[in-house]
Structure 1
């Protein structure tokens, strides 16, 4: 049997996995070129791929935080740079792909929430401490504020007439509405097909908006005429899409006269053009498909056991790998079967979960419950370096999509609103129970681990359910909701209000610091120094109480780092202390 071995082996395994680059396609540029975001050279940057020659070229020298979707008729990209050492105050830059000319957008540093461009302008929403604002910039760098939105809102598209986006715009934390800003009239309009429904991601074609909505039940695609108010459900020529019956959509747009979509169910994606499935590898498509003039499409794909790589799917369905990315064989051989399962929680609710077994651990053996962040996110069948590292280091991984996770319908997602740290915490405990009852993990040999909301859930789990865990690892955690609220900017105050459905009386009850005296298991706390989402200050107060109470813990503060992991060095700062802690306390 292959074993994880020594501390040196843990370091070697992590190094081999962290060094595997990520790739996320941004779509097609003129002349069949593909824009990508990748950390191929150690930091997240903007890259250009020529599918014919397979040549990859880095376009900017500095680490970037995000970039706009590419447009097939525009040889420019807009990207954001964090100018506050990880605190997510962004400056925007417009890059001419052909000349390399870079223009800074004349807007104050702010947390950018949504960004889009066309050949004439750049639109974005951004948050400051005072509120959320809608901006319009030109390619020469000039910029003006168009409106104060003061709600969680994201721009998704812009053309010569309209800016489109979506957000929580009518005060109901359980619904999302669309917004359209008329650039000629200077008016902002909010639209929903049904009050209380969830409507997301409008993409423009003239005065038509293609968007996802659940107003008729399941998430489906609709077209709305901004000019005359007509609404129709998108119908497809082919039946593959309807047979798949997706739960949600990662992305959609027009290609030629047809609508394409990356549809999702049970944590895996499929690509459809006018309802016909385009064959793709099992796992998930990340980013935006890049359709080329010959009818082929370039995709970035991955799975829980296959790192991100770039493929080209031809019209005949054949697949060509353009950029390969492989786990070293000796490390891959340690990672066992991947399973998608569902289990019943405390109240009978069915909870979906991905299970990744380790070939280096017996059954039952040592295990980890991996708690994803968000909470509006999910563990899908796509690459996560921590999950791969945990399995390679000898731990069976249970990764539940607790109530509130995305990807399983709006009713499931809404269950956490007004109840964070309630039913979702029970779902996490029942994931561990499933592992024990099904002979995968051994009672008394299970750790909880998570980052962001997952870090919060870990701290809460060790305080409210101390008998369940041998140890815990919490990264970028929320320790005190009340203090975090006071330290947050406008958008994160709105986020907290939305998550709690305005129930501020729950802040103390659902804060880990309230239960710090109940913690029994050793804790590893890893916190970025400049995190503006989950600030360091409340975590230090939590740690101070651990110290006063004589608890066993270790604290790692990642210097000059924010909430988002942007470089391979950032990843090591978070993952290495976690794995060494598990080696020490879980074996």
Structure 2
């Protein structure tokens, strides 16, 4: 249940790489706009394309990922062909080349530090189970076109490793060494050292979830995140040598409610430097510290910034690029490690979804707001990548609303059609995760509802990130029910304030948001006029047994055990338990290859609806946890809009 955040589409919709519990994933991609024409600004036969559809079709790019020792070589993802794929970009010459070309798209990839190779993850039709492949940065012979699996110039990157779910990747500066994290039901979590021309060597194995954090600049130290203590929400850290022996441990877990998590932010980018940048929660929020793994010295960086604080190294290791998130918006700062000086890196008001410091000291970042589409910008003032073709229309700004709830003040983001007051038909668009949050960033899905006359409310319920550790960790054991309490409080505000028409309320969401949609329709049957659930958890017990092992670990953490150990908690949190209480029409869409919210548990729920004769529609598509194909996403949104139009009362 983890939602990818770096390299997929930024249309505000569920995407491949997401899970039924979503957390940001480290790793890989982004960079420039491909050459060639984008989608035409019109439909077949000359029919005009509506703005809501243009927002999906308009070419967009991710933040370019650049090779550490060859900074002119970069990798990015783009939807320019109608499917999100990876592109190589030679910044010195301006040449861009499509790297991957698969029916269901590709966004998970990275460059070796020397810039010679591109690694990308090859799964089957979005099921997230596969192998790493690689191809030369210059491509197949002649350097033209995507090599494609099995073609000349494209090869398995780690021969000898069987297909698995990915669990982190770190590439050595020598161009021939990699640390590969894997997850399977049979083996649990394993980490292998892979050297070109040699058999992979297993250096770590455990039944609980674990993954690769980083490889030191000189390749002598490997940082991993693990949950051997059994709490999949709060990782501990271990540093290994390439032979698998332990160098150092850092573990903030204390048992019970006081368990604290750690995350690897990266080794210092200097040979022989044993400093590891770490994220910690010791003061109730995410903050950075520098841990010297050789001496054990820990230096907590106390920054006078409210909210969560993350960081990454500047290329020379002298400073940190600080990413500060607070109340659904984010900004950048430069922190000088020698002087302790904190200097603002100017960015517009909105959200920075990725940032990187370049060797020349400039910073490039991917920015958007609810009103303005994403763009890759530089502190020089330039737009780094400007995709050709159709430009995405903007949308309306977001309004901040604070509502008193049973667990504290709840932050909600509201958009409404320009010039309207209310009461309006209103969509409660619930984010996935649950460890995620909605932000003041551009999202094509909510904008489509606004274009059709709806107000859109997005709720950062308990379980969301960005409001402190206590808020994020609040939902244990009463999973789903706590989130719905917060959503209900915001619903009451929306109706009493005159914004929302109580007879035209839509509950919708993707992934965990789809789960909360189905659960809400059963637990709060009088509150909602209809529900639209995208890639949802529908039958929690069956979902547990069919999902990938890492998500089983997360569910055991959230619910306190397996379905056999705590059956009453799984029953209380499962939409299937309340299906006979559902009164509203229900629309469900699901990927038949989804490893996070598997299709069998969705079918169980649908069968119960059908047996009751309940009003429902189901759309199944050939992909995993969402789609990276633009036409498919547009089709899905069109079906959702049509379902609401047919089933909401007219005014």
TM-score, normalising length from structure 1? 0.89
- Residue matched to 1:408: 467
Segments of 4+ moved more than 6 angstroms? 8-11, 325-329
Asked if structure 1 preserves the Cα contact closer than 8 Å seen for 2:462 and 2:483, the reply is: yes
SS in 2 for 1:531: coil
SS in 2 for 1:579: helix
Q: Distance in 2 between matches of 1:194 and 1:489?
A: 24
Q: Cα 1:221–1:357, aligned 2, differ >3 Å: closer, same or farther?
A: same
- Residue matched to 2:4: none
Q: Distance in 2 between matches of 1:354 and 1:52?
A: 42
- Residue matched to 1:284: 351
Q: Cα 1:584–1:167, aligned 2, differ >3 Å: closer, same or farther?
A: farther
Asked if structure 2 preserves the Cα contact closer than 8 Å seen for 1:309 and 1:324, the reply is: no
Give 1:28 deviation, angstroms.
2.3
- Residue matched to 1:122: 178
Q: Which runs of 5+ in 2 are unaligned?
A: 1-45, 141-152, 336-341
Question: Quick check: 1:181 aligned with 2:243?
Answer: no
- Residue matched to 1:322: 385
What is the CA RMSD across the aligned residues, in angstroms?
Answer: 2.7
SS in 2 for 1:23: coil
Question: Quick check: 1:450 aligned with 2:509?
Answer: yes
- Residue matched to 2:519: 460
- Residue matched to 2:314: 254
TM-score, normalising length from structure 2? 0.80
Q: Matches of residues 394-543 of structure 1 in structure 2 within 5 Å?
A: 394-502=453-561, 503-543=566-606
Asked if structure 2 preserves the Cα contact closer than 8 Å seen for 1:25 and 1:299, the reply is: yes
Q: Matches of residues 265-414 of structure 1 in structure 2 within 5 Å?
A: 265-274=326-335, 275-289=342-356, 291-314=357-380, 318-320=381-383, 322-323=385-386, 332=394, 335-345=395-405, 347-359=406-418, 362-414=421-473
Question: Quick check: 1:110 aligned with 2:164?
Answer: yes
Q: Distance in 2 between matches of 1:504 and 1:21?
A: 47
Per-residue displacement from partner, 1:349-389 (whole Å, max 9, x unpaired)?
Answer: 11112111223855221100011111111111222221121
Give 1:465 deviation, angstroms.
0.4
Q: Distance in 2 between matches of 1:270 and 1:520?
A: 44
Asked if structure 2 preserves the Cα contact closer than 8 Å seen for 1:310 and 1:324, the reply is: no
Q: Distance in 2 between matches of 1:129 and 1:188?
A: 28
Q: Distance in 1 between matches of 2:512 and 2:47?
A: 30
Give 1:464 deviation, angstroms.
1.0
- Residue matched to 1:134: 191
Give 1:478 deviation, angstroms.
0.9
Asked if structure 1 preserves the Cα contact closer than 8 Å seen for 2:203 and 2:243, the reply is: no
Asked if structure 1 preserves the Cα contact closer than 8 Å seen for 2:113 and 2:172, the reply is: no
Q: Matches of residues 200-211 of structure 1 in structure 2 within 5 Å?
A: 200-205=263-268, 206-211=273-278
Q: Distance in 1 between matches of 2:559 and 2:618?
A: 28
Asked if structure 1 preserves the Cα contact closer than 8 Å seen for 2:315 and 2:359, the reply is: no
Per-residue displacement from partner, 1:123-181 (whole Å, max 9, x unpaired)?
Answer: 23221112121122235585333221322223221131122132433123553211222
Q: Distance in 2 between matches of 1:98 and 1:482?
A: 48
Q: Distance in 2 between matches of 1:426 and 1:326?
A: 44
Q: Cα 1:73–1:263, aligned 2, differ >3 Å: closer, same or farther?
A: farther
Q: Cα 1:513–1:360, aligned 2, differ >3 Å: closer, same or farther?
A: farther
Asked if structure 1 preserves the Cα contact closer than 8 Å seen for 2:476 and 2:559, the reply is: yes
Give 1:214 deviation, angstroms.
1.3
- Residue matched to 2:40: none
More displaced, 457-466 or 377-386?
377-386
Asked if structure 1 preserves the Cα contact closer than 8 Å seen for 2:370 and 2:396, the reply is: no
Q: Cα 1:307–1:48, aligned 2, differ >3 Å: closer, same or farther?
A: farther
Q: Cα 1:326–1:277, aligned 2, differ >3 Å: closer, same or farther?
A: farther
Asked if structure 2 preserves the Cα contact closer than 8 Å seen for 1:262 and 1:269, the reply is: yes
Q: Cα 1:168–1:392, aligned 2, differ >3 Å: closer, same or farther?
A: farther
Give the number of equivalent residue pairs.
563
- Residue matched to 1:151: 208
Q: Distance in 1 between matches of 2:89 and 2:607?
A: 50
Give 1:216 deviation, angstroms.
3.6
Per-residue displacement from partner, 1:461-502 (whole Å, max 9, x unpaired)?
Answer: 111101101110001111111111121232121121122132
Q: Cα 1:564–1:261, aligned 2, differ >3 Å: closer, same or farther?
A: farther
Question: Quick check: 1:192 aligned with 2:259?
Answer: no
Give 1:42 deviation, angstroms.
1.8
Per-residue displacement from partner, 1:7-31 (whole Å, max 9, x unpaired)?
Answer: x999834431211234222532314
- Residue matched to 2:16: none
SS in 1 for 2:128: coil
Q: Cα 1:299–1:328, aligned 2, differ >3 Å: closer, same or farther?
A: closer
Q: Cα 1:393–1:327, aligned 2, differ >3 Å: closer, same or farther?
A: farther
Give 1:286 deviation, angstroms.
2.5
SS in 2 for 1:306: coil
- Residue matched to 1:233: 300
- Residue matched to 1:21: 59
Give 1:119 deviation, angstroms.
1.7
- Residue matched to 1:264: 325
Give 1:65 deviation, angstroms.
4.2
**1:569 aligned to 631, 636, 647, which one?**
631
Per-residue displacement from partner, 1:194-239 (whole Å, max 9, x unpaired)?
Answer: 632211124112321101101244322111121221111136xxxx
SS in 1 for 2:646: helix
Q: Distance in 2 between matches of 1:244 and 1:297?
A: 20
Per-residue displacement from partner, 1:397-441 (whole Å, max 9, x unpaired)?
Answer: 100011001121111110112221111111112222121122211
Q: Distance in 2 between matches of 1:286 and 1:10?
A: 31
SS in 1 for 2:361: coil
- Residue matched to 1:578: 640
- Residue matched to 2:7: none
Asked if structure 2 preserves the Cα contact closer than 8 Å seen for 1:13 and 1:393, the reply is: no
Give 1:187 deviation, angstroms.
3.7
Q: Distance in 2 between matches of 1:350 and 1:343?
A: 5
Q: Cα 1:309–1:326, aligned 2, differ >3 Å: closer, same or farther?
A: farther
Asked if structure 2 preserves the Cα contact closer than 8 Å seen for 1:202 and 1:212, the reply is: yes
Asked if structure 1 preserves the Cα contact closer than 8 Å seen for 2:355 and 2:363, the reply is: no
SS in 2 for 1:405: coil
Q: Cα 1:405–1:369, aligned 2, differ >3 Å: closer, same or farther?
A: same
Asked if structure 1 preserves the Cα contact closer than 8 Å seen for 2:248 and 2:293, the reply is: no
Q: Cα 1:68–1:253, aligned 2, differ >3 Å: closer, same or farther?
A: farther
